[in-house]
Chains A and B, each alone.
Chain A
Amino acid sequence: MLTDLFHIAIFPGFLFLVISGFIAETIDRKMYARLQNRMGPPWFQPVADFLKLIGKEELYPCEADVPVVRLMPIVALTCVVTAFLYIPLSGVKALYSFEGDIIVIIYLLTIPTISYFLGGWYSRSVYSMLGAVRAIIQLFAYEVPLFLAILAPTILANTWSLSRMAEFYSQHPLLCCFNIIGFMISIISLMGKLEKTPFDIPEAETEIVAGSFTEYSGRMLALFKVSINVETIVGAALVAAVFLPFGFNSGWIIGSVSFVLKILFIIFLMTLIRTIVARLRIDQMIDLCWRFFAPFALLQVLINLLAKEFLSI
């Protein structure tokens, strides 16, 4: 009972995730700034922002459905924190695992987007409703390539449990070379999920102010920010566990170090991409996802099917 509480509240649950989320945001912002020839904020900026927001007043439009609007950040945060419990960190074994947990993780990672939609929709402001609709449209665009790309490696591993998949790939590390297309697609789809440039369409500042979050303020906005940070970590950990199965079998020290390095690598890739591109339009985003990423993800599935057939694993 106590260990369960420890797992949920401290490690690898809530506290660990929130802190690493702050660190991820610091690294992202600092790197973004350095790539743009700026100094960037000091290291404690995300924490300072969070503390400031917590102390602020909460204001909602009088037409808003306040209970739903206030519930949504909590739902989003809960879901991403829960998803993390099924992802293997330093060793091949996640805290909890069962056959099919990979579907549960992807499902839990979809809920934040739905909560952005509901939160924005029930704020009843023009900008947040437009942002909410855009978030949902975007969900339909990136979700299919993400699903296909994440599930393709399971064909080779012959399991839908993330822990067993990590075990399989760490025994056959060379097999992950087959999954490079899937890795690329999942990184880009993850950027769509996290609403980062070029897919920051639902919160495009110069068009619809802050999208779904326009009417949020105070604590609830802070919680949304935290849940996005945590989602960054969880998403990166998921991609790392599926596509980068290195360092799982060498004890917890090397395991932890390699876990951190993998997450940093993925965050760096995402920051690099968001530095060098402009925001797309929603129609261009859908075009890109369905015309390029979905077929390439299918190609990834095909490659894995053929590999399974010919390598007789």
Chain B
Amino acid sequence: MHDPHAGDVKVPVGPQHPALKEPESFLLTLRGEKITSVNIRLGYNHRGIEKACEERTYIQSMYIIERVCGICSHSHSTAFVQAVEEIAGLEIPKRAKHIRTLIAELERIHSHLLWLGVAGHEIGFDTLLMYTWRDREIVMDLLNAISGNRVNYGINTIGGVRRDISKVDYARILKDVDSLEERTKYYIELAKEEVTLHKRLSGVGMLSKENAIKYSAVGPTARASNVNYDVRKHDPYASYGELDFEVMLSDKCDVYGRTLVRVGELMEAYKMIRQLVKSMPEGDITVKAPRKIPAGEAISRYEAPRGEDVHYVRSNGTDKPERVKIRPPTLANLQAVSHMLEDRYLADMPIVIAAIDPCFSCTDRMISIDHGARKGAKTVDWDYLRAYGIEHYKKSGIDMDKLNRKFESRMSKVC
């Protein structure tokens, strides 16, 4: 009898693969060059961040949350801080809101420029990668000048922002935004005129409006399928309510549309930054926040560069959160990827995966499903895990006890 799956080849893309910058597994089934099915497996990057937050105070948790993702660090920390402020009933100063929004838009610029480069690399157009990443340096340096860091800006604190922006910075921001705008115009022209770019992007990774809603896609992925949904516009937070900007939409429904939406959002970001600098109010940048947050719960939504980022925080009246839950945009978009890949060529795989701008370190969560089948399986807490780790290393001859004692005695002398 003829086997219908006789010519099928299973190609593992990931957890380690040049197309992916982070470990994640896509098991493709190929017939010839065509993909017949995709099996996505998450969880290679699980770091237990949500659990770690429960063991730390709100301020400490904020820094952990900021390290959920290297690119949209400000998104995560703002979403978290907004939730905490909502529970605590804090109204932060207007200037702080403006600074948060400013950093958010600068972050969007650096994230979208990074994406443009990655997209170029995935389709073998390394020149685009080199050009965009060179221009990305401008905004990275700007963020460095404002916040002191190129990534993980550490600008947020509960009740406002940590650093003020001086008048000198205004001029630099405006100047850098001008040069970035000029470069972005060049990229728009390039996207419209370069033939091979067009050939590789248009018609690839189709996601109709109905399917985008069905698979609950968010961010530029959804907006490129003409789903008019942007948290900044439809549920404004920080200063977005006062700003005049458009939601970038495209009816192309493919990777080319996603490129146009992202480049368009760059232009909107420049517009917003100019408005923010112009209308920057005077005043305090922070209000006093209580150390212990009253009991309650809140959900905070934030339009990260990759899409809607949702944070849920529940407090129990102590200085540590009881539960923190993060729903990053990549998790929402991943469902659509396997749909977009089916019946496409293998060559389209990298760019289709890259087109949602995946951030797997944001996404990876672990769910443990206990069927009761595994005997002796138990849930362990943080202290047990710590003690187990120390024991484990002692067995293999690595004993840190002496060093720890020495360190402690030195620390007590200093204090």
Chain A 281-301 interface 0/1 with B at a Cβ cutoff of 8 Å (1 = within): 111100000000000000000
Contact of A277 with B125 in the complex, beta carbons under 8 Å = yes
A172 to chain B, nearest CB (A): 36
Contacts A206-B350, A278-B200 hold; do A197 and B345 have CB atoms under 8 A apart?
A: no
Q: Evaluate contact between A278 and B17: CB separation under 8 angstroms.
A: no
Q: How far is the CB of B245 from chain A (nearest CB, A)?
A: 31
Q: Does any Cβ of B come within 8 Å of A37's Cβ?
A: yes
Closest to A129 in B: B9
B124 touches A197 (CB 8 A): yes
Indicate if A207 sits at the interface (CB-CB under 8 A). Answer: yes
Within residues 111 to 168 of chain B, which ones have a CB less than 8 A from any CB in chain A?
A: 120-128, 130-131, 134
Nearest chain A residue, comparing its CB with the CB of B346: A207
A36 touches B127 (CB 8 A): yes
Closest to B125 in A: A278
The residues in B between 1 and 25 inclusive whose CB is less than 8 angstroms from any CB of A are 9-12, 17-19
B residues in contact with A127, CB < 8 Å: 11
Contacts of A35 in B (CB 8 A): 127
Let me know if B213 is at the binding interface, CB within 8 A: no
Give the interface segment out of B191-199, B263-271, B308-316, B332-340: B191-199
Given contacts A37-B131, A283-B345, contact A278 B18 (CB under 8 A): no
Cα–Cα distance between A208 and B11 once the two chains are bound (Å) = 9
Tell me if B169 counts as interface (CB < 8 A to partner A). no
Q: Which residue of A lies closest to B198 (CB)?
A: A278
CA–CA, A291 and B390, complex, Å = 67
Q: Taking chain B's interface residues, is the majority helix, strand, or loop, or is none over half, making it mixed?
A: helix
B303 touches A (CB below 8 Å): no
Count of B interface residues, CB-CB < 8 Å: 33
Residues of B contacting A201 in the complex (Cβ-Cβ under 8 angstroms)? 347
Q: Which residue of B9, B134, B194 is within 8 Å of A278 (Cβ)?
A: B194
The B-contacting residues of A in range 184-228, CB under 8 angstroms, are 197-198, 200-201, 204-209
Residue of A nearest to B19 (CB): A206
How near does chain B come to A276, taking the closest CB pair, in angstroms? 7
For the complex, what is the distance from the CA of A275 to the CA of B348, rounded to whole Å? Answer: 21
Give complex CA distance A206, B134 in Å. 21
Closest chain A CB from B23 CB (angstroms): 15
> Is A19 in contact with chain B by the CB < 8 A criterion?
no
Cβ-closest chain A residue relative to B128: A278
Q: Which residue of A lies closest to B9 (CB)?
A: A126
Q: Which residues of B contact A129 (CB under 8 A)?
A: 9
The interface residues of chain A lying within 8 Å CB-to-CB of B12 are 126
Partner of A280, one of B17, B33, B196: B196
User: Given that A37-B131, A38-B130, A281-B347 are contacting pairs, would A206 and B11 also be in contact in the complex, using a CB cutoff of 8 Å?
Assistant: no
Chain A residue contacts of B30, Cβ below 8 A: 130
> A288's closest neighbor in chain B, by CB?
B199
Does A308 reach chain B (CB closer than 8 Å)?
no
Contacts of A52 in B (CB 8 A): none
CB pairs A–B below 8 angstroms (23 shown): A36-B130, A38-B130, A126-B10, A126-B11, A130-B30, A197-B125, A197-B126, A201-B347, A205-B19, A207-B350, A276-B127, A276-B194, A277-B194, A278-B123, A278-B128, A278-B199, A278-B200, A279-B347, A280-B200, A281-B200, A281-B345, A282-B345, A283-B345
Known: A36-B127, A207-B347, A275-B127. 18 other contacts (CB 8 A): A36-B130, A126-B9, A126-B10, A127-B11, A197-B126, A204-B124, A204-B347, A205-B124, A206-B124, A277-B125, A278-B120, A278-B123, A278-B197, A278-B200, A279-B347, A280-B196, A281-B345, A282-B347
B residues sitting closer than 8 Å to A (CB atoms) are 9-12, 17-19, 30, 33, 120-128, 130-131, 134, 194-197, 199-200, 345-350
Q: In the A-B complex, list the 10 residue pairs whose CB atoms are closest, starting with the nearest.
A: A279-B124, A278-B125, A36-B130, A206-B19, A206-B350, A278-B196, A281-B347, A277-B196, A278-B123, A205-B18
A positions within 8 Å CB-CB of B: 35-38, 126-127, 129-130, 197-198, 200-201, 204-209, 275-284
